[in-house]
Structure 1
Amino acid sequence: MVVSDAVQTGPFARRTLLKGGAAAAATAGALLTPGRARASGPVFRHGVASGDPLPNGIVLWTRVTVSDDAAPGSGVGAPAAVRWELADDPGFASIAASGTATATADSDHTVKIDATGLTPGREYWYRFTALGETSPVGRTRTAPAHSDTPDRLRFGVVSCANWEAGWFGAYRHLAARSDLDAIIHLGDYLYEYGRGEYGGRNGAVRPHDPAHEIVTLTDYRIRHAQYKTDPDLTALHALLPFICTWDDHESADNSWSGGANHHDPAVQGSWQDRRAASARAYLEWMPVRANGSGTNVQIYRRLRFGTLAELSMLDLRSYRDRQPSPGPGWREVDNPARTITGKAQMDWLTAGLVSAPVRWKLVGNSVMIAPLVFPPLEPATTAAFTSALGVPQSGVPANADQWDGYTADRQRLFRAITEQQVGDVVFLTGDIHSSWASDLPIDAANYPAGPTAGAEFVVPSVTSSSIGEVLKTAPRTVAVPIEDSIKSFNHHMRYVELESHGYGVLDVTEERSQMDWFYLADVTDPATGVRHGASFAVPSGGRIEPRPAPVL
């Protein structure tokens, strides 16, 4: 990959919409591929994407179909020369950076460019050319300079998009907005299940490829490619940079460093081989920066947006110990030797939060960190009780796959935040197919007394089955008393909605960080409408409070 040293700058249009595909008509010239006839269909069948914006750089992505038999995962197809261009304008009159790369079968003919030398805080347009064809035009933007003080930032926040469970209307509605800086994807970008294996009220709305559960590198490549053909996801990728982390379904359900709940080595082979295959396909097909390879990939990283916010994206699968089992295994929840982050990532996270020279410390967090226990117990006065019953000191966790299964790590992090007087920390979370707004108390049983380490906003699934769908009950019936019960036991949880699919929009200013939840009418309808669900904000130095619906 070659990046031009010459960078041209022009007028900065803060909110300019992509003008269809008109700019794509300009072609940078035919590039030859030796030894293979070109594809009879589109060369750029999987769209374009960008991600991980820096003040002076952005990751650009595409996939080249060099021939009809060189399908994703096939491992065949000759190399293809690819030219990329990044421009100050959608007509590509002013080229800011350009270069060439080679798409090969070794990387599944994907191309990922880390374009540098760019101007902070501005929009760019980009495209690729290969085999005489030019890709659709993508729009992206760089982050503000570290010294800049943006008035506000707005991020679309999403997680848990299961192809079989419905259509990706959440992506379509986010793409229709003109006020977003980036999309934060908190994991479960795709699902590993075979056809019909992930239940819910809707059944399989559209079938997965391949038909079986994905295990091999070929399998993961095919599944990634299928998701990249969804028109709503393709459109959103072309409009905004993504900032992503993985959760478990990018590899296997409830994965941990040494395996997964749904991985049987006797049937599916080595977990380390499967994990390496899933990570390799993810890095090939996603516009993310990462270090390392195989099972030693590091994707936790930090992105800064002027003096207003810094975003730390976590990896809560690669280093964690195995989830404790119900019953006698619950006491392992409190074991100080167990970790969800791994020591190196925990040190990196706490050091970054303590030293961040910004107002808002945002954390991209794939599983819920707010305590959710029944009931929350106060350790100083309940030690004998918890010891006699064999339950964790803080109470019985509802889901030990979350931070509730790793209470020592959570306490280490919360105490570092409170003891170092780190203010304005907000965790952004996915995973549980529901919506939550919570303060983060050091001691949940004493809330609202005592210190809090920040706030957490959990966004719903794009499509993946919610509690109501799993129970196959009528909407807003059984779920409502469950929501009320959760809040009655866990007073720090200010908002709980367990059924709706959709997305969040995080609106950040100096004064507050606000999450607005938007819910889809019907994920089985590709033209589904959307409605505002709720809004909660955490004022700088304060705690979560409800807010009125945003004016759009």
Structure 2
Amino acid sequence: MTSPHSRTEQSLPGGALPAPRRRAVVAAGAAGAALLPLAGAAPAASAADAGPSFVHGVASGDPLPDGVLLWTRVTPEPGAVPGSGRGAAVDVAWEVAADRGFTDRVAHGTVRAEAASDHTVKADVRGLRPATTYFFRFTAGGVHSPTGRTRTAPAEGAEVSNLRFGVVSCANYEGGWFASYRHLAARSDLDAVLHLGDYIYEYGHGEYPTGDDVVRTVQPEHEIVSLADYRTRHGHYKADPDLRAMHAAHPLVAIWDDHEFADNAWSGGAVNHDPETEGGWAQRVAAAKQAYFEWLPVRPSTAGTTFRRLRFGQLAELHLLDLRSFRDAQAKVGHGGDIDDPDRTLTGRKQLDWLKKGLASSQARWKLVGNPVMISQVAFGSVPAKFLGPLGELLGVPKEGLAVNTDQWDGYTDDRRELLTHLRDNRITDTVFLTGDIHMNWANEVPLLAADYPHEAPLATEFVITSVTSDNLDDTLHVAPDTLSGLAEAAVRAANRHVRWVDMDSHGFGVLDVDAHRAQMDYFVLSDKADKNATAALRRSYRTDSGSQRIERTYRPLH
């Protein structure tokens, strides 16, 4: 069946399909050549003059064993640009095939694109085979969309040899080019791409970064506040060819963080929201969420949020968190009582109970947690004074006497204590937090209390992925990478022995591979985020062995 708003006539798979095989890695340098037959070149803007067009590409997401969510946006006529509210309704056909030539079509249907949904459409396709690669496309007015490739999840009880995910976060359009997406798109060995938040940024032109650090201009040029603004910003992001290529190549699994709304968002407001000039916070959040679900292949869950679960056979279960919709306001640095207040929450009671129950009942070997902000305890007080200001700017906290980032789990210690105690008391092993937000690479062990480490064994591990483009330490200091950051990195590791590695200067992406014995993250970094043709190179690899809750460096990368 399809999504509730779809009008669909669907054909289910009738014949046996080839057994799934682990796909070979495509060289990142061949991204353009490899993807051209798949995604196709984006039509020129003037193509809309001739009738319906698909200038924003196609996408898929939230893979299930028997299905996947398909997405596109139709430009039905001239002027019907994102956020305009203009354009007639149009019927859009979709089809799924076992081959890219669409000679072996296995499912098809029709959805309707309307101005009420910004002419975005989704088809929640079911009846597909588990662990199988498919191709899909849309058609309107006789015009075909680019072709997308997607993959279903393994059957719930299936024995799975391994799973491999691309991992990204924090893509500020004005901060640089989306080369990380291009390199992920060029790979054919991924089961999905996990986006850990800050898919878009809300800032106006030149607000972040500023001055000469702006690489390109975002649209609209003002800070986005209204539904039309958020729609326009999402549409502008999907005009980026590297982003479109990534969506066309792999299913996406996404959660949001703050910049999908506004900087340091919480349930009642944000640092970057002024109710006197920008209206009510509830109205802004509603607009941002509506645009998000319109423009991304994500299934909304409880109360229209992004916390949900996806299962990948017996090997892994992915618990995806929403750490913005239910949290209390961030505590002020220096107010330790606020940070430790048991009445303050990051997760909200319902979500925390849902997570605890899901981790305790999971039958999967690996419990992966898509976690927007860092859960590991980190003290910055020992960092040399000259780095406190830049780090404070990055973390959005006071720049003097910096000791803790209260936007992370560090600012809500009771929620963290309850969750980690739950892991300990229920002997839950192989929990791996996958985290974005902080614009740095980290590999951490997660003890109940950092002060007791290493005498008390850690209860989980955490891989933190740096930003696609958003500023980190060398950008803020305006110095070359790996020149001054080593002092700050060494100070952080000296004060936080559970931090096995931290890289404060790089931009890039991660590739996570899990099998029955270990979970490994390969950290890839870009040569220059301001270079449209930036190369990517492996920086380091870290792994955690099943049952250990320990992190160790490995010199055997995945590829």
Same structural fold, with TM-score higher than 0.5 when normalized by the shorter chain: yes
Q: CA deviation at 1:125?
A: 0.4
In structure 2, the residue matched to 1:430 is 436
Aligned residue among 311, 315, 325 for 1:308: 315
Q: CA deviation at 1:199?
A: 2.3
Query: 1:23, 1:92 within 8 Å by CA — same for their partners in 2?
Result: no
Query: 1:61, 1:113 within 8 Å by CA — same for their partners in 2?
Result: yes
In structure 1, the residue matched to 2:329 is 322
1:466/1:21 Cα in 2 relative to 1: closer, same or farther (>3 Å)?
closer
CA distance in 2, matches of 1:405, 1:450: 22
In structure 1, the residue matched to 2:180 is 170
The correspondence of residues 246-265 of structure 1 with structure 2, limited to 5 A, is: 246-265=256-275
Is 1:80–2:87 an aligned residue pair?
no
The correspondence of residues 52-451 of structure 1 with structure 2, limited to 5 A, is: 52-199=62-209, 203-291=213-301, 296-327=303-334, 329-374=335-380, 397-451=403-457
- Structure 1 runs, 4 residues or longer, greater than 6 Å off: 16-19
CA distance in 1, matches of 2:555, 2:210: 32
- Aligned AA for 1:473? V
Instruction: Single out whichever of 107-116 and 2-11 deviates more from structure 2.
Output: 2-11
CA distance in 2, matches of 1:309, 1:370: 22
1:167/1:202 Cα in 2 relative to 1: closer, same or farther (>3 Å)?
farther
CA distance in 2, matches of 1:220, 1:447: 44
Is 1:43–2:53 an aligned residue pair?
yes
Query: 1:24, 1:134 within 8 Å by CA — same for their partners in 2?
Result: no
Q: CA deviation at 1:41?
A: 7.1
Instruction: Single out whichever of 132-141 and 445-454 deviates more from structure 2.
Output: 445-454
CA distance in 1, matches of 2:314, 2:437: 29
CA distance in 1, matches of 2:557, 2:79: 49
Query: 1:199, 1:470 within 8 Å by CA — same for their partners in 2?
Result: no
**Secondary structure in structure 2 of the residue aligned to 1:439:** strand
Q: CA deviation at 1:95?
A: 1.3
CA distance in 2, matches of 1:438, 1:479: 18
1:23/1:257 Cα in 2 relative to 1: closer, same or farther (>3 Å)?
closer
**Secondary structure in structure 2 of the residue aligned to 1:528:** coil
Q: CA deviation at 1:331?
A: 2.1
**Secondary structure in structure 2 of the residue aligned to 1:125:** strand
Aligned residue among 473, 479, 493 for 1:487: 493
1:453/1:320 Cα in 2 relative to 1: closer, same or farther (>3 Å)?
same
**Secondary structure in structure 2 of the residue aligned to 1:234:** helix
Q: CA deviation at 1:262?
A: 0.8
Query: 1:186, 1:246 within 8 Å by CA — same for their partners in 2?
Result: yes
- Aligned AA for 1:424? D
TM-score by length of 1: 0.91
Aligned residue among 442, 458, 464 for 1:458: 464
Query: 1:38, 1:67 within 8 Å by CA — same for their partners in 2?
Result: yes
CA distance in 1, matches of 2:158, 2:141: 41
1:68/1:352 Cα in 2 relative to 1: closer, same or farther (>3 Å)?
same
The number of equivalent residue pairs is: 519
- Aligned AA for 2:17? G
1:22/1:525 Cα in 2 relative to 1: closer, same or farther (>3 Å)?
closer
Q: What is the aligned-residue identity percentage?
A: 52
Is 1:499–2:505 an aligned residue pair?
yes
CA distance in 1, matches of 2:249, 2:182: 11
Query: 2:200, 2:259 within 8 Å by CA — same for their partners in 1?
Result: yes
CA distance in 2, matches of 1:85, 1:214: 35
Q: Which runs of 5+ in 1 are unaligned?
A: 26-36, 377-394
Is 1:527–2:533 an aligned residue pair?
yes
CA distance in 1, matches of 2:185, 2:168: 13
Query: 2:54, 2:145 within 8 Å by CA — same for their partners in 1?
Result: yes
CA distance in 2, matches of 1:468, 1:262: 24
Query: 2:52, 2:140 within 8 Å by CA — same for their partners in 1?
Result: no
The correspondence of residues 504-515 of structure 1 with structure 2, limited to 5 A, is: 504-515=510-521
In structure 2, the residue matched to 1:386 is none
- Aligned AA for 2:470? S
- Aligned AA for 1:367? V
CA distance in 2, matches of 1:371, 1:197: 30
CA distance in 2, matches of 1:84, 1:192: 32
CA distance in 1, matches of 2:513, 2:39: 32
Query: 2:301, 2:307 within 8 Å by CA — same for their partners in 1?
Result: no
